[in-house]
Amino acid sequence: MALTFGTLSGSYLWPVEIPIAIDGGEFDTLSFKARYRRFSQKETEAILRQSTEGARSVMTGEAPKEDDSDVGIARRIMIEWQDMPGDSGTVPFSVEAFEQLLSIQGAARAINLAWIDSINGKKAKN
């Protein structure tokens, strides 16, 4: 499919991999596809500034504003998921399930880094 100006949808799917520490000093990976909002350049720059402010706050020992935190950014950029593995098949997206995902250490950061890869033109890993 050829991309043409004016045919972009308001969102897109992008793969996310969340490394999860397991016993024995190993990691397992939770993999799914996130549906990200498509932002204007101005909005994207504002989100990236927020993320930088949040990181700066953490490095200086301050609590970041909620909107500037990894969790706050993830809530803003991601609107649903596909192919989320669960114990009994795939887990449907819901606000409650999303909040449960965001409570896992490193999940919000992985969601945000995958979004940054997508806006920087990096190819998704297969």
Domain membership flag for residue 73 = yes
Backbone angles phi, psi at 68, to 5 degrees: -90, -10
So what's the pLDDT on residue 125?
63
- 124 part of a folded domain: no
Of all residues in the chain, the percent with pLDDT exceeding 90 is 71
User: Does some domain include residue 26?
Assistant: yes
Question: What is the residue range of 83's domain?
Answer: 12-39+69-119
Name, in order, each residue with C-beta under 8 angstroms of 76's C-beta and a sequence gap of 6 or more: 37, 47, 67
Q: Express as a percent the part of the chain with pLDDT over 70.
A: 89
- β-partners of residue 89 are 86
pLDDT at position 99: 97
HSE, side-chain direction, 13 A CA sphere, residue 45? 3
Residue 62 falls inside a structural domain: no
What domain count does the chain have? 1
Q: Which of 51-65, 90-104, 108-122 has the lowest mean pLDDT?
A: 51-65
Residue 1 within a domain: no
- Is 16 among the domain residues? yes
Residue 112 lies in a domain: yes
User: In this predicted model, which residue has the larger pLDDT, 6 or 104?
Assistant: 104
Tens digit of each residue's pLDDT (9 = 90 or more) over 16-54: 999 999 999 999 999 999 999 999 999 999 999 888 776
Predicted structure pTM score: 0.85
Examine residue 83 and state whether it is found in any structural domain, yes or no.
yes
